[in-house]
Amino acid sequence: MKRTANLISGQLKKYDPLQLSSYEALDGFAALKKAFELGSDGIIEEVDASGLMGRGGAAYPTGKKLRQSADVPGEIKYLICNADEGEPATFKDRHLLEFDPYSIIEGMVISAYAAGATHGFIYIREEYLYLHDMLRQVLALLREGGYLGTNILGKGFDFDIELFSGAGAYICGEGSSLIESMEGKSGRPRIKPPYTKVSGLNKKPTLVQNVETLTTIKSVLYHGSDVFLKYGTEKSHGTKLISLCGNVNNPGVYEVPFGITLREIIYDIGGGIKSGEDVKFLQLGGASGAIMPKSLIDIPYSYESLKEHGLEIGSGAVLVADNTNRIIDFLDSVQTFFLHESCGKCTPCREGNRQLSNIIGRMKDGVATNQDAASVERISNIMKYASFCGLGKTAPTAVLTAIRYFSDELFSKGDVYERV
């Protein structure tokens, strides 16, 4: 049975990005034409009806976000496509940028029209350098073709897009840090409110949307929200791109309907475990996501079912680890990452990560105690509630869930961890 879908990825790899006509031949820009007919309200209603939630990781309802942006008045309004995909184990945006850039941009023009944005940017991470030139050429082709620039498709709508490259900073995936970075500063998050949709780039209203979200907006307009609603579960509508990786036979980007089980993802789509060993644990949503044991792999992949177990979809990363891995080595890798990427602006994240690193160091040396377990909980709580942005709030997720499910591997013998 075919487990994958192609609502979002229908055009993926089907055309040559340097030939605009090859995209047009695939019914390209049909969604944009439909959007122009629907008008701003019509687009937002359609997106709202689809139940689409932000695909960067925070899962904010997209229709609501578009509506809020549309309601902000302003002569100049920005739309930024967030292609600073820095979450470890996540590469679905890269896949879209490389193999279906036109659908992203079509989604951008539709969103800009709905929200009344006048200028657009694609903020792409420096690590995707090999895509930069191709994307600049794509933007030039679209300008020539009348899909960007002034009076798009003769509808009197003006909107153009520039490419902006990051310079290697995970934190810049956070909307306000991304904007600081675009203003030529170090990428540290801003205090909210004001939200970026009210006061963002150059203090102008700025709508920041993830690559996959924009592509999905195009897909919702193209197929209609009713088709979208045929896929998924009661509360998680449609399909999602997952970045399947780790110890599986077929790592890659796949589009799956919500509600598929993780077992089906690992074995039917991923082709099972490469070493032939058993699954030990998964990490969903990237380094900032929870670690879950094998015993949970029969739960459906949907916002609501995962939430029951304290898990999240996040960016859509599905990282699979087999029995040959030690949980402590994995935690060490996660923590090294957050210690390196914490921007240092707020104390809970900067110092919290330092303390977590020390404790994980003790776990590695086999001398971590009950006391350390209690410290992890205390420090993590402070980080979750008092950090400035999502980085600090989610950094302790992996270690907390690892303690929940694998405490016997992390603490020295004879000192059994009891939940405090």
Partner 1 sequence: MMQLDTLFEQVESIVEKYGRERSNLLAILSEAQDLVAHNYIPEEMAEFIACGMCIPTSQVYEVITFYGLLSEVPRGRHIVQICDSTVCRLNKNTSLGEVLERQLGIKIGTTSDDGEVTLEYTPCFGACDISPAIRVDKKVYGNLTEEKLRRVINQTVGGRKA
Interface residues with partner 1 (CB under 8 A) are 85-91, 94, 125-130, 164-170, 181-187, 243, 245-247, 251-253, 283, 287, 317, 319, 321-322, 325, 329-330, 333-334, 336-337, 340-341, 343
Cα 62 from Cα 241, distance rounded (Å): 16
**Closer Cβ to partner 1, 170 or 222, answer by number:** 170
**Closer Cβ to partner 1, 47 or 319, answer by number:** 319
**Closer Cβ to partner 1, 52 or 253, answer by number:** 253
Give the torsion through C-alpha atoms of 353, 355, 357, 358, to 10 deg. 170
- Reduced to 3 states, what is the DSSP secondary structure of residue 20? helix
Cα 196 from Cα 163, distance rounded (Å): 19
Q: How far apart are the first and last CA of the chain?
A: 46
**Closer Cβ to partner 1, 141 or 245, answer by number:** 245
Residue reference for tokens 């006509």: 21
Minimum Å gap between C-beta 363 and partner 1 is 15
**Closer Cβ to partner 1, 113 or 123, answer by number:** 123
Structure tokens of 36?
A: 């122009």
Structure tokens of 242?
A: 């997952």
Minimum Å gap between C-beta 275 and partner 1 is 11
Minimum Å gap between C-beta 48 and partner 1 is 31
**Closer Cβ to partner 1, 46 or 180, answer by number:** 180
Minimum Å gap between C-beta 35 and partner 1 is 29
Minimum Å gap between C-beta 185 and partner 1 is 7
Minimum Å gap between C-beta 268 and partner 1 is 18
Minimum Å gap between C-beta 245 and partner 1 is 4
**Closer Cβ to partner 1, 51 or 189, answer by number:** 189
| DSSP labels, 322-360 | ETTS-HHHHHHHHHHHHHHH--SSSHHHHHHHHHHHHHH
Alpha-carbon distances, residue 58 vs 53, 288, 321 (angstroms): 8, 11, 24
Alpha-carbon distances, residue 242 vs 65, 96, 167, 267, 382 (angstroms): 23, 12, 25, 14, 31
- Residue 89, amino acid: A
Cα 331 from Cα 21, distance rounded (Å): 48
